[in-house]
Structure 1
Amino acid sequence: MAIGELIRDLRKARGWSQGRLASEINGAFGANLDREYVSRWERSKVTPGPYYLRCLSAVLEVPLAVLEGEVKRRTLLSDVAATAIAPIVASDLLSAGFAARLAKGPTGDDWEVKLATYGTEYMSLGASDIQRRVSGELVVVQQQLDTPQLWSVAARLMTLYAKTFPGSDGSKAVGWYRMAARAADESGDEQVRVWVRGRAAIALGYEGASLGVADVLADQAMAISDRPSLGLLNAIMGKAHASAIRGDLATARELMDQGRRVFDAAGSYEQTSDYAVPWWRMNVFISLLAARLGDENAAVAAQEAARRELPPTLPRFATHLELHRGLMLARAGDQAGGAAYARAALHELPPEKHSLTLRLLMSEVERS
């Protein structure tokens, strides 16, 4: 996906014209851009150099790594083949891919079963284990993209794969989320198109990473359909978190209320799948959001509600709630106490249960 398309999407998510983007860069950095130059970026007639990539990163609220990753993306496949995949691993993956093509591979129903399994395992397994296994599945499914259903499968697998990279890393996570959105569009399935974008938005918003991209994907999901669904719920809550982190508290509260209404219509009963948002998980979203808003009463109420129904097989999410409490303490003025509380909670969780998101939350507590 071209850098120009990303710049355009980020600009539109902020409601800016091309002239406004040029003005923002000029005002912040003393540059001398005009609307036409921004237009040339967006049409991929010109690629921004390192200086303007830094300018764009600052005014569009997206990590520099995301923009640099889009510029370098054309070399990604050759770089991976040459350096990132050991020869024996590459051999195994290529063999699996061609074997799947020759044998027609798993059926659509087989893939749905696989997705359901990964959705459950993601909630308890470490990111590295999921990443390794899903990468092999992606090699297989890309050889089968002959039907809308298999594009839908690929889109959901890509979304899960993206979640194994930290959003703060930027390039990898965001690149996969955006590719998953395009794959979902190929499926023609409205529900999948909304879910993929919404899942990406809540992942980035919850982590406090790549807020500009979180907004883009949330806005796209909300524009595709306003019918209550888990995808729409994720999009709304992801955008709420981005607003809270920016300090736009009124918008964050409005979106939180909107999210509650959508949850009432679309919340799920499945308790232990990444594809589900049951009552306890909705309260995990609200717990962190309320902590970021400085609303201690709402945060504590959400934490208590989540704990009442949180499955004991998912201790990682209990640790999330403890880190939210540490963030509340830090934001209330006890920065050292909040960080110590969060650190102790993280230490109680076995290292193999740690996630990238927990580490990002720990960093947020320490910065508060």
Structure 2
Amino acid sequence: MAVGELIKDLRMARSWSQGRLASEINDAFGTNLDREYVSRWERSKVTPGPYYLRCLSAVLDVPLAVLEGEVKRRTFISDVAATAMAPVVASDLLGVGFSARLAGGPSVDDWEGKLATYGTEYMSLGAADIQRRVSGELVVVQQQLENPRLWSVASRLMTLYAKTFPGSDGAKAVSWYRLAAEAADQSGDDQARVWVRGRAAIALGYEGASLGVADVLADQAMAISDKPSLGLLNAIYGKAHAAALRGDRVTALQLAERGQRVFDKVGSYEQTSDYAVPWWRLNVFRSLLLARLGDERRVVEAQEAARRELPVTLPRFATHLEMHRGLVLARSGDRGGGVAYARAAMEELPPEKHSLTLRLLMEEVEAS
């Protein structure tokens, strides 16, 4: 979506006409816009300059960085940009929250069912779609936190919400991961406390973002409990990826071996949930880790193991594996070949299946 389309969507979300938007800007800034000029913006006949971007940011209550980013990228695919819609729908979310409070809200079992559904859908749906839906769920669950078990639900929803932002955006993803950890602590549920921290650590480590935070959250998870669990497994691999990106090969491989031992005790049979780590997904973790370490032979072994069980309904993860191959080529000295290989893998995947993580991975290949 170009910047003009974004302006139109934000305007329509407020039920404003083009003339109304022009009037709002004129009243606030003393300008002399008319409806036709707004129409030219929305039809991408004219691109707003820096001054009018600031005007639009103020009257539409959307961060200036989002509008500037649209001008730069000409696409509305980042989840950071998607959150700009939140102020526009704030009144709707408030209504949802108060209605939930009056009705008592879903039961704990209902919430667990919702989490299971989101865990499955996250594997194939786009982050922006998940983000919009989970924001509404967070407003509802916030009304029910007298029940400690619902702090556990809230913490897992917050973790999922955080994962819809790129980890490099510390103001968004990292702050939500930290808030999720605090919410899990309120639950008194050590399993949830370990899981939200571990999931955050592997998300940040896999993305190669905020590595210090990934380390801290992983260390916290391991300190809470060393009992084998999927949360602990995620924490260990998150820390391993951080070590690999820092060039600490020995630590990365030691952590990977420890992760394998944990997996042998708690690995999942469930194949298509974000709350599961089956054999194929562990090998996706291993594939990227080994690619970052430049171990081409073992990258191929991990990828073959992953492909034997990877569900055909999850083509995005097959693309991850191909891009790992591009990364190891780039790290071995063939940067041009690695970039071309990774880019070709991205292009084979339908654009609607692309994810923030894949785009960050493409940037890592290009920077190798």
The one-letter amino acid of 1:313's match is: T
Q: What is the Cα deviation at residue 218 of structure 1?
A: 0.0
What one-letter code is carried by the residue in structure 2 that aligns with 1:112? Answer: E
Q: Secondary structure at 2:237's aligned position in 1?
A: helix
Q: Which residue of structure 2 lines up, in the alignment, with residue 290 of structure 1?
A: 290
| 1:326–1:115 distance in 2 versus 1, CA, 3 Å | same
Is 1:227 aligned to residue 222 of structure 2? no
Q: Is there any run of 5+ residues in structure 2 with no aligned partner, and where? A: 1-82
Task: Check 1:287–1:88 CA distance in 2 against 1; reply closer, same or farther (3 A cut).
Answer: closer
Map 1:207-356 onto structure 2 (within 5 A). Answer: 207-356=207-356
Structure 1's 84 and 300: CA in aligned 2 closer, same or farther, altered over 3 A? closer
CA distance in 1, matches of 2:326, 2:284: 14
Counterpart in the other structure of 2:185 = 185
Distance in 2 of aligned mates of 1:126 and 1:208: 20
What is the CA–CA distance in structure 1 between the aligned matches of 2:225 and 2:308, rounded to whole Å?
Answer: 33
Provide the secondary structure at the position in 2 that maps to 1:168.
coil
Q: Counterparts of 2:348 and 2:293 in 1: how far apart (Å)?
A: 27
Q: Which residue identity lines up with residue 248 of structure 1 in the other structure?
A: D
Q: Deviation per CA, 1:186-245, whole angstroms, max 9, x where unpaired? A: 010010100000000000000000000000000000000000000000000000000000
- Counterpart residue number, 2:170: 170
Distance 1:336 1:305 in 2: 27
SS in 2 for 1:106: coil
> 1:272-324: per-residue Cα shift (whole Å, max 9, x none)?
00000000000000000001111111111000000010000000000000000
- The 5-angstrom pairing of residues 127-206 of structure 1 reads 127-206=127-206
Q: If the length of structure 1 is used for normalisation, what is the TM-score?
A: 0.77
- Aligned partners of 1:141, 1:333: CA distance in 2, in Å? 50
Between the aligned partners of 2:145 and 2:347, the Cα distance in structure 1 is: 43
Secondary structure at the residue paired with 2:319?
helix
Give secondary structure in 1 for the equivalent of 2:209. Answer: coil
Counterpart residue number, 2:108: 108
SS of match in other structure, 2:111: helix
Q: Which amino acid aligns with 2:316?
A: R
Q: Which amino acid aligns with 2:178?
A: R
Shift of 1:87: 6.3
Aligned length: 286
Q: What amino acid is aligned across from residue 244 of structure 2 in structure 1?
A: A
- Classify the secondary structure of the residue corresponding to 2:143: coil
C-alpha separation between the residues in 1 aligned to 2:103 and 2:118? 23
Greater relative contact order (Cα < 8 A, sep 6+): 1
Alpha-carbon distance in structure 2 between the residues aligned to 1:86 and 1:291: 38
Per-residue displacement from partner, 1:85-119 (whole Å, max 9, x unpaired)?
Answer: 56661111000000111111000000000000000
Q: Which protein has the larger Cα radius of gyration, Structure 1 or Structure 2?
A: 2
Farther-moved stretch of structure 1 (83-92 vs 106-115): 83-92
Superposition misfits of 4+ residues, deviation over 3 angstroms: 83-88
Letter in 1 for 2:265: A
How many angstroms apart in 2 are the aligned matches of 1:283 and 1:365?
A: 19
Quote the Cα distance in structure 1 between the aligned partners of 2:87 and 2:255: 48
Q: In structure 2, do the counterparts of structure 1 residues 161 and 329 end up closer, same or farther at CA, with 3 Å as the change threshold?
A: same
2 CA distance for matches of 1:171 and 1:265? 36
Q: Could you state the TM-score of these two structures normalised by the residue count of structure 2? A: 0.77
Give me the whole-angstrom Cα distance separating, in 1, the residues matched to 2:197 and 2:88. Answer: 34
The separation in 2 between residues aligned to 1:265 and 1:86, in whole angstroms, is 42
2: CA distance between counterparts of 1:293 and 1:338? 15
From the superposition, tell whether residues 343 and 87 of structure 1 become closer, same or farther in structure 2 (CA, over 3 Å): closer
Deviates more, 1:142-151 or 1:113-122: 142-151
| Residue ranges of structure 1 left out of the alignment (5+ in a row) | 1-82
Given the superposition, is the C-alpha separation of residues 295 and 88 from structure 1 closer, same or farther in structure 2, using an over 3 Å criterion?
Answer: closer
Q: How far apart in 2 are the matches of 1:207 and 1:133?
A: 23
The residue identity in structure 1 corresponding to 2:190 is: E
CA distance, structure 1, for counterparts of residue 128 and residue 306 of structure 2: 27
Matched, 1:93 2:93: yes
